[in-house]
Each structure stands twice: as structure tokens, then as C-alpha cells.
A and B are shown apart, each in its own frame.
Chain A
Amino acid sequence: MVGALDSRIGVSRGFGGRAAVTGAWEQDAAAGFVEELFAAHHNEIYAYLIRMLRDPELAADLTQDAFIKAYRNYNVLEKPENARAWLYQIAHRVALDHIRRQKIIRFLPWTGESHGSAPSTERLVMDAHLSGDLQRALARIPERQRAALLLAEIHDLTGLELAAALGVSHVAARALLTRARESLRQALAAERQVDADAEAASDAAAAAASDRRSGTAR
């Protein structure tokens, strides 16, 4: 029964396992399936992207991109039970692609509006909203490590799913998580040191002002 079911759902049957969606009937099936996937998972995919990129508008655009890519690659997924990890994998790649482009753009002369290269208004609002040691520390660690931590700790992907979403072996996923935890620990410590320094500086400034006030009063 299991085998029959698997082969039935597998791409080898029915639509012939072709690489791309071409026929109208397949398109209907693909669109219907993506619609279901969207209904079930778009909230978490959007949340993952916003946590990765800290830009609501960008996250919405990339969520849309991710589901379009899911539609295009409808026939790649063999087992529907892997759909969630597969979606995360697509979203992860979309996010990393964007970050890579951003890094390139930073080295190019600014010629006009280039979406995502500068913090949007929403992003600034978000930062104000979500800012905190943890958010800033997450933003400081390498993006692959950030992705691994977000997916494992917040999005609750289990070992093999995590590896699939990250596109690495599960041994590599574990190693990535180990490095990510250490990076985050150090980043948090640094953020807290900055906070402490700022607080100390502010205390010192207040003390100096107080000294000045007392000085003038004197």
C-alpha cells in the first residue's frame, strides 16, 4: 500500500516527472497544489523571511517569489509530506540569493531606486519594534547560521527537515547549528557590552553634566 501510494504521488507517474509544468492540465494541478501550500504555510514562510531580512515589504515580495518557484518546480517534490521542508528550502534560497545580491549592490554605484538595498521605512519601524539585543545579535551573525538557528529554534524543523531546508547533510546542519549558537552567544555578549558601554557612557555623560551643572552653580 505504501509503495503504491508513493509511486502514485511520485513524479514518475501521471505527469511523467517532467522538469517543468507545461500542459494546461498540469498547470491546473500545480496551481491548485500551490494554493493549498500557500494556505497552509504562507504565514510561517513570511515570518521566516521577515526574521531573516527584517523588512516586511521585502519579506512579502520574497514570499511571493518562493511560492512562484514552488509552482514552477511543482514536479520536483516527490513526497507531499516533505512539502513544508521543501518550501522552507525554497524560501531559504530566495533569502540567501537576495542577501548575496544586496552585498554585490553595495559595491555598485547607486543609480536610483534599488529595492532592498536601503532600509525601507517599514524596516526602520520594524527595527524600532523588534529591536533588542537578540534581534541585533541575530542580524550580526552569518546568514546561514542565522537561518539554521531560526529554522531550528523558532520554526521547529526537525533534523532531516532542517538539513533539507538548508540544503546540506544533517551532519553539516548540526555543525552549522553549533557554530550558530556560539556566534550568537558572542554577538549577544558584544551587543550587551555595547549596551553596557552606552549605558556607562550615558551615565558618565549624565555625571559630567551633573558635574557641569554643579560647577556652574558653584
Chain B
Amino acid sequence: MNLGRGRARRPDDWPSSHVRARSDLSDRLDGALDPGEASWLASHLEACPDCRAIADAYAAQHLELRALRDSSPLPPRDLWARTAAAIEAEARFRDGRARSSGWRKPRSLAPSIVITAALVVAVAAGTLTSSWWSGRGGDARSSAVTALGPEPSTAGPASAVAGATPIPAPRKIAYVSRDPEGTYSIKTKNVDRVCPKAATNPCDDGGATTDHPVSLDQNPSTVFGSADNKRLIVVSDPSAANSGTISVVPIASDAPESSAPPSASASSATASSTPSGGPTATPVRSPSVVPASPKPTPTPSAGTGSPSPSVEVTPQPGGTIEIAHDVILVGQSAAYSPTGNWFAFTARPVDGSVGPDIFVWKVGSRVANPVTTDHRSVFGSWSGEALVGSTVVEITKSAGPGLEPVSYLLDPATVIRTDLPQTGQAWRPAVDPSGRLAVYWAGTVRATAAPGFAPDAGRLVLGDWGTGDSAPSNAPAPTVLKSDQTNARHETTIAAGRVEDWDARWDGSGTHLAVWIADSQNAAVGSLSLYAVDSFNGKIDLKKPLLDREPALAGYAISDGQLIWAEPDATGSATGSQIKLLAWTADGVGAVDAVTGPVIVIR
């Protein structure tokens, strides 16, 4: 035992040398005696027979006490039952009411009578922290928006909430709506309050809606907002004529999109490959890339029919730039990096010639670049400013050949790839902001009819990602994790059996995790759950979701304090009937139906 070094006592501090000797003898039993004091003690014992007797007595009683460790009395068996009952009683007392176990109010699929031409696309408003998106900026538009209450994190009087009283939760939901003429406009829906779980009657969100015109030239299927509120990333509807494009649309008509954020150090690779000279720039892969396939494909200049998706720069009217075309977005994992400097997504050529690769777009550049060339890579998530991707390798098992996932870290600036064999079988990991936990597919994958991959045998789990304080990237000499991955990584099952697709995301602070799991029959719809990281022990209790398998369309937005999703309509089509908001504040958690109408919620 190390008791630490106390204030060193000078020899004349001691009432007597015998007192000093007893202190030393005690410290010695705890292993806390420094060498100088030990030699003093030795010479003192030499000269003091009484002190030697005391030393023997201390040693003997030390052994006797230690022997008591072996005879620990066992507590009564009902001790937990008693304690739990007392805690429950106290919780009820503090709560002022009996707690119900579930909070979902009776659900009736909202009648989808309003099949109007209004296509509403909700945008990830979650990370929006300034300007008119969130109504807290100082520009002219924010003043046009209904006055807001205090900021979400400091919402409302803490003591005012009890029972079914609505929880003050000033939030904004930004979404894109299309009118019958096909003109898109961004709307923001203000939400002033949400209803706690105990609410039996729907409560009014108290908010107003504001329009912000914006011009989109194509049918969007997926829209991503950005943290700085300056642009949308619009993925075109694959079924529409102008299909297979991913475009960046500046949205701040009063604040034109500026050039790339000044992060010179991070911009080298992409900047060199995409000179701002013009639309004919040919992306050149960084020589430092570690090819994941035996045949790294030199990225050709753009052209239809190219084996790799084209990334030719195509400036669009109205400031829109097309960062990729002839591609289909794969999976649900596309995301901005934590700093907002990069946007990563998985895509494959629309002609189906090859499988998926990971692309990154550096904010401010004019093109998205593929950072893998093996045509079997998918983007998982960001881990800091490195992206976590997964590829698949052939394995031979007793049952026959199969495909096993391997994950890696990839620096978008240098395209340097670091394999993570120590993470075992982990496909598409969604790593939390601390790098400590991840949601991933633990198992094998299979090839799909369209060139790509889907989960095969295994489970969707929440498991350890980093090891202790260090992320896998920092681990020296990674070793392949083969034995008992389930226990080694403390994996707990989120979903098992047939999982067609999923989308797991953490909020910015890493305190909440949302997991959407696709329906096995219709991958456009699924169920969405929200879990809280225990602020005390850092663990997640999957048995205690804040949102429990709510029906939701693919694509949702999670950010600090809020989760936004769309409820599917009765037909299970790709358009939903409502945008829903779940907000968590210091006062509790509540939900509200925010926008009604045919909606497609994306991120």
C-alpha cells in the first residue's frame, strides 16, 4: 500500500526517537517508508530492545488482521430487496408521484390524409448553433423569427416541472419543404416546450413556423445541414431524371458561403488534388494512400462509364456545386466530421459496375474525393478528425467461404490508413466522441445483389472501442483480436438476427446514442431508440431507453439535447406523416409532434 509522502518531518519534530520509530514501523507495514528513514529505523532498532519488541508485535498483529480477510461474514439474502424497496420509496417521494414504467403514449398512426404536394424534408438542425437556423444569431433573419426563450441548455425554471407539465425546451427544427410548383423553401419550426413522458394528453409545442426561401434544382432524397448553417448537402432522388448527384447548396443568401475554413494544415492533400483552378481539375490520389485492394485504380478524369464514380467539378447555377455525380449514396452513415471541416459518405457508381467506396468532401473545395479504391469500403463514423471505415476480406470457414469485416482509421487529409485488427469483427463502427465505445456489426457480412454488402451472421452490438485511455489508433503493436471478442470488448447486443441496415449516431457530447434499425421488409422504415450514457459510470443501459423502438423513417438528426425523426405514414412509404422531436434538458425528457405533413426526414 502506498500512503503517499506526507510532509517530511524533521528529526526534532518528533517528541522522541521512539515515537518516530513507531511511526516508521507503521509506515513500513504499508510500504511507505523511504530509504533514508528506513536506515534510521534500522539503526534505532539496533539500539532499542523495546522498539524491537514493538516491531515484532506490529508484524504479528498485521498478520492476524490480514487473516480476518478470509472470514468475511455474508450479508442477509434479502438485503438488496430491502435496499431497492427503500430507494424506490424515496424516488416516489421525491418524484411526487408514482413512476410508470413506460412513457409512450398510446399510438395511432396519424391519418395520412394530407397527401398534398408538399414534400417536406427535415434537415439536421441538431448541430446548428448559430445564425438564423437556431434563431440565436444577431442577423436580420433571426429577428424575424419568433422570439425565443432562453437557450436550450438553460431552459426554464428547474422546479416548475412536475408530472405532465410541459418541459420548457426552446428548439428549432429546420426542414425543407416543396410547394406544389416544385419550389423548395427552408422552414424553421420553433418548439417552445415538449411533453414529458408521463403526459397523457398531447401538449402544444407553442412554436411558430418561419419560411426561408432557397433554390434547389433537383429532387432531393437526402439533405444534410452543416454546423455553420451555410450550406446544405443535397443528394438527388435516385429515381428522378437528374439522378446520382451530390450537391452543395449555399443557403445563406444574406451570408454567401465563404471559402474553405482556414485550416491550412489539414487541407494539403485535398487542396493539392483539387486546385481551385477550374472544373477540369483531375483529382490525384495521394501517394501515401494505402490501397485496400490489389488494384488501386488511378482516379481518372471525369466521364460517364468510368469504373470509379465521377468527381468532376460542375459548377451549378445559383452557387450550387456538384461534388459528385453518377453515384448512389450507400447506407445511412454519411456525416460531417466533428469540426465540420470534412464530410464523408459512402457511394457507388450508379451503373452498378463496382461496389462502394468512401468519399470525403473538404468544406470549401469543389469536389468530393474517393479515399478508398477497393470498392468494398464503407464509412462508419468519425473518430476525431479521422474517419473510421470498414472493408471486407474473404475468409474460409468450415461452413464455406464468407466475408469478414475489418475496420480501419483513415486520415482524410493524408489518406493514410491504419488498420485496426485489434477491434476484431467490427463493421461500420459508430464511434462515440470520446473514442471509448462504438456501435458496430459483430459478425460476418454478405454480398448483396446491387454491388455492396449487408450484415450476415452476427449481432449489432455496443462494445468497447478504445482500450483504456487510448483509442485503437494509439495502441502500439495491435494484435488481432480473435478470442472471445464478446467478452473482451464487453459487447452487449442491440439487435440480433436479420438486420438489413442500421444507423447509429451519438450526440456531440457523447452522452446520448440513437440507433435506428431498418425493418427487414422495407429498409426505408425502421425503429429508432435513444439511450443515455450514464453520466456517473459512463455505461449505457440498453434496457432503459429514453426512446424505445419508435417507428421512424431512415435518416434522423441527433445533437446535444435533441433527436428529430419522421414517423412513417400508414402505407410505410418513404414519406412520413410527421416530424417528431424528443428533447432532453436539465428538467427532463419530453417529446412533441412538431410538423405534420408528408415528410421525409433525412439528416
Contact = CB atoms under 8 A, between A and B. Distances in A.
Which among A28, A44, A74, A175 has the greatest number of chain B C-beta atoms within 10 A? A28
Interface in A5-33: 5, 8-11, 13-16, 18, 20-25, 27-33
Given A1-B471, A4-B510, A38-B83, A9 B94 contact: no
A48 to B, nearest CB: 10
Interface of A: prevailing SS: helix
Interface stretch (B74-82, B270-278, B347-355, B486-494): B74-82
B13 to A, nearest CB: 12
Contact of A1 (B91, B435, B589): B435
Contacts, number: 212
B431 to A, nearest CB: 11
Contact of A27 (B4, B91, B469): B91
B111 interface: no
Nearest to A48: B72
B509 interface: yes
Interface stretch (A59-67, A101-109, A113-121): A59-67
B395 interface: no
A23 B544 contact: no
B6 A170 contact: yes
Interface stretch (B316-324, B446-454, B533-541): B533-541
Contact of B537 (A18, A33, A60): A33
B7 A171 contact: yes
A185 B61 contact: yes
B436 interface: yes
A174 B79 contact: no
A29 B66 contact: no
Contacts of A177: 3, 26, 30
B57 A5 contact: no
Interface string A60-81: 1001100110011011010010
Interface string B56-100: 011001101110110111111001101110111011001100010
A5 B3 CA distance: 27
Interface stretch (A92-100, A146-154, A197-205): A146-154
Given A15-B535, A31-B91, A188 B61 contact: yes
Nearest to B72: A47
A25 B588 contact: yes
B393 interface: no
B586 interface: yes
Given A18-B586, A43-B74, A174 B1 contact: no
A162 B532 contact: no
Which among A2, A77, A150 has the greatest number of chain B C-beta atoms within 10 A? A2
B87 A67 contact: yes
A174 B535 contact: no
B544 to A, nearest CB: 6
B538 A13 contact: no
A38 B65 contact: no
Nearest to A7: B509
B309 interface: no
B165 interface: no
Interface residues on A, range: 35 or more
Contacts of B74: 43, 46
Contacts of A162: 1, 3
Nearest to A181: B26
Nearest to A80: B537
Contact of A15 (B436, B544, B586): B586
B587 interface: yes
B76 A24 contact: no
A64 B86 contact: yes
A1 B469 contact: yes
B546 interface: yes
B116 interface: no
B2 A42 contact: no
B32 interface: yes
A134 interface: yes
Nearest to B53: A185
Contacts of A175: 23
Contact of A185 (B54, B66, B509, B546): B54
B22 A178 contact: yes
A56 B588 contact: no
A47 B73 contact: yes
B3 A1 contact: no
Interface string B518-550: 000000000000001111111101001010000
A30 to B, nearest CB: 7
B2 A4 contact: no
A127 to B, nearest CB: 13
Contacts of A39: 80
A34 B80 CA distance: 11
A158 interface: yes
A184 interface: yes
Contacts of A42: 75, 79-80, 83
Interface in B13-46: 22-23, 25-27, 29-30, 32
A165 interface: no
B535 A68 contact: no
Contacts of A33: 534, 536-537
A73 to B, nearest CB: 11
B518 to A, nearest CB: 28
A9 B535 contact: yes
B510 A34 contact: no
B369 interface: no
Contacts of A23: 161, 586-588
A11 B26 CA distance: 37
B197 A158 contact: no
B265 to A, nearest CB: 21
Contact of A46 (B73, B94, B434, B537): B73
Contacts of A24: 95, 99, 196-198, 588
Q: Which 10 A-B pairs have the closest CB atoms?
A: A171-B6, A159-B3, A14-B535, A46-B75, A153-B65, A178-B26, A80-B537, A16-B586, A47-B72, A4-B434
17 contacts: A1-B435, A1-B469, A1-B471, A13-B509, A21-B94, A27-B99, A29-B532, A29-B544, A31-B84, A32-B544, A35-B84, A46-B74, A56-B73, A80-B537, A153-B65, A154-B65, A174-B26
Given A25-B588, A80-B538, A181-B25, 16 more contacts: A5-B538, A15-B535, A23-B161, A33-B534, A42-B83, A46-B73, A47-B72, A56-B76, A59-B73, A68-B83, A68-B86, A153-B66, A154-B65, A162-B1, A174-B6, A181-B26
Interface of A: 1-2, 4-5, 8-11, 13-16, 18, 20-25, 27-36, 38-39, 42-44, 46-47, 50-51, 56, 59-60, 63-64, 67-68, 71-72, 74-75, 77, 80, 83, 130, 134, 149-150, 152-154, 156-160, 162-163, 170-171, 173-175, 177-178, 181-182, 184-185, 188-189
